[in-house]
Structure 1
């Protein structure tokens, strides 16, 4: 089958990126009226659900820095992720999809509704009427073409609840073939910016969010890209492990110098004695500076948590008052 050119795709009306004959879900899913941030909302629209489920604003915001966090190539399939010793961790945040650290990779389960041809045309009409949302959905589908390229990958996806077990290899292979005639894996024009890159390293994303112009803020500096435990102990363990390594190195060098000063050949060396004095003084100053640094960070964390807790309390009280005022008066 001839691959559509980029010009043809951009000029033609948007349509589902696969044929109805190859759809993997026939029934229309039921969406829950809640999300992670605003709680229960019985009036929540499907467009709102799609925006939360597919868009990646946190990644798109730092797109020009993503070369620091990943490579512009396809993510490795699931069996390779296992081979690399990474545990597959489920996330429902599309911004965290395919983000990894040394022992984990975060993967968002494939939303079943985008596997239904009719959904794209009816309830999910915003998918084909909003080009940005359309590209986000196509990029997400492309990411699963990366992840599931063999039968063993499909088994892993079933076992980790990334895909419904009803999707067999006999269904998946034609679906991917059909999909890749529309979504060109070699081009960046048919998917959103996020999917110009494959896997993204969490530690680099944290650095970008803490220090990059345009996204720097006190909250981003503390939390980084992905929210992690902000308890003082956990924060110090993550960020000051290197300090203990330095202290260990200094201790070894200082011990070696002490042994050297006890030998006849080095006792008379003015250069070695001078270096020993300088190194000892620098070590003492470094130890004092390190203690002051840890104490300052500890104090800053305490103040930060108190201020955050107070602001959160004010927000909760304000919402309660607004809800009470919005309730109809009882007769």
Structure 2
């Protein structure tokens, strides 16, 4: 019995959604509703379970080929640790608002004061769905399982659970609010996904939270596209972010050139006793400005280099550390 079959058996004992079931038609396992009055997936009233529409829809909302392609380079921009995910209640301590967002490639991507989290669809709480998708499309299985595994870190306590079902940024299905199944039942279900290793989920989920600003630069360096995601909706702010380093560089060069021009200009003044003091002050002032600016630039570069080296050494140690499964949740 492989890891996926074991997972399905464990989920069947703890499932929270009983609206789906599977049966064998010929040699193919099909997914259907248990009530026989509906032919649509739970939470997806415009799709049909029969045919390929639902499966194509799943591929479109769970697969992250772009992030999977970039994942070998993530260790240069983020800690290579899939457990590097802060629980919902702690996100505010880091100055971030948790925003429910259905865009799958933005799941756990953060930008300044916000972090995007993809909500859990009702059918993901059904063991029958996982039994079906494991055979129908293993790629979708790995991607959706990776998503569910992140919730073992996002929801670790009852406080996290309450925040996940509120109206401000709902992350769990509406049925969970009305269900008698609460925090303990939910984490017992999701905790089964914690048994999956990084090799058993999509490559993107070998990493936790991702910083949007670094993703934007990474896609440019890899020549994939100009930016990963337009957070502003207009090109003006995007260009300003790209120009900021150039403007800072030109400002420093301008100070250095001005100081050098002062040093050269005073050499043309008459070398008389009346001008001697002024010439001396200008010469020394230009030297001081040049020295101070150079020292500040060298110091800044040294600090940045030190931080980058420290991060890369730490990332290297994490990347090559034994891939033990140390995931914990609020319930054993």
Alignment of 1:55-70 (within 5 A): 55-70=63-78
Q: 1:252 to 1:140 in 2, by over 3 A?
A: same
- Are 2:153 and 1:167 aligned? no
Q: Paired residue for 2:163, among 137, 156, 160?
A: 156
Contact 1:98-1:200 within 8 A present in 2 as well: yes
Q: Distance in 2 between matches of 1:259 and 1:147?
A: 59
User: Paired residue for 2:16?
Assistant: 24
Alignment of 1:217-256 (within 5 A): 217=224, 220=225, 222=226, 224-229=227-232, 231-243=234-246, 245=248
* Number of equivalenced pairs: 253
Report the CA distance between 1:170 and its aligned residue: 5.1
User: Paired residue for 1:88?
Assistant: 98
**Structure 1 runs of 4+ with >6 Å offset:** 250-264, 276-279
Q: Distance in 2 between matches of 1:13 and 1:200?
A: 31
User: Paired residue for 2:123?
Assistant: 113
List runs of 5+ in structure 1 lacking aligned partners: 1-7, 35-41, 280-331
Report the CA distance between 1:50 and its aligned residue: 1.2
List runs of 5+ in structure 2 lacking aligned partners: 20-40, 267-274, 292-332
**Alignment deviations for residues 14-72 of structure 1 (CA, whole Å, 9 cap, x no partner):** 762743342222235153558xxxxxxx9761111111122111110111101123221
Root mean square deviation, CA, Å: 3.9
**Alignment deviations for residues 109-128 of structure 1 (CA, whole Å, 9 cap, x no partner):** 1111111123334xxx2344
Q: Paired residue for 2:60, among 52, 63, 71?
A: 52
Q: 1:103 to 1:149 in 2, by over 3 A?
A: same
Report the CA distance between 1:270 and its aligned residue: 8.4
Q: Paired residue for 1:195, among 190, 195, 205?
A: 205
Report the CA distance between 1:164 and its aligned residue: 2.8
**Alignment deviations for residues 237-269 of structure 1 (CA, whole Å, 9 cap, x no partner):** 222234555566678788999999999766227
Q: Normalized against structure 2, the TM-score is what?
A: 0.63
Q: Normalized against structure 1, the TM-score is what?
A: 0.63
SS in 1 for 2:165: helix
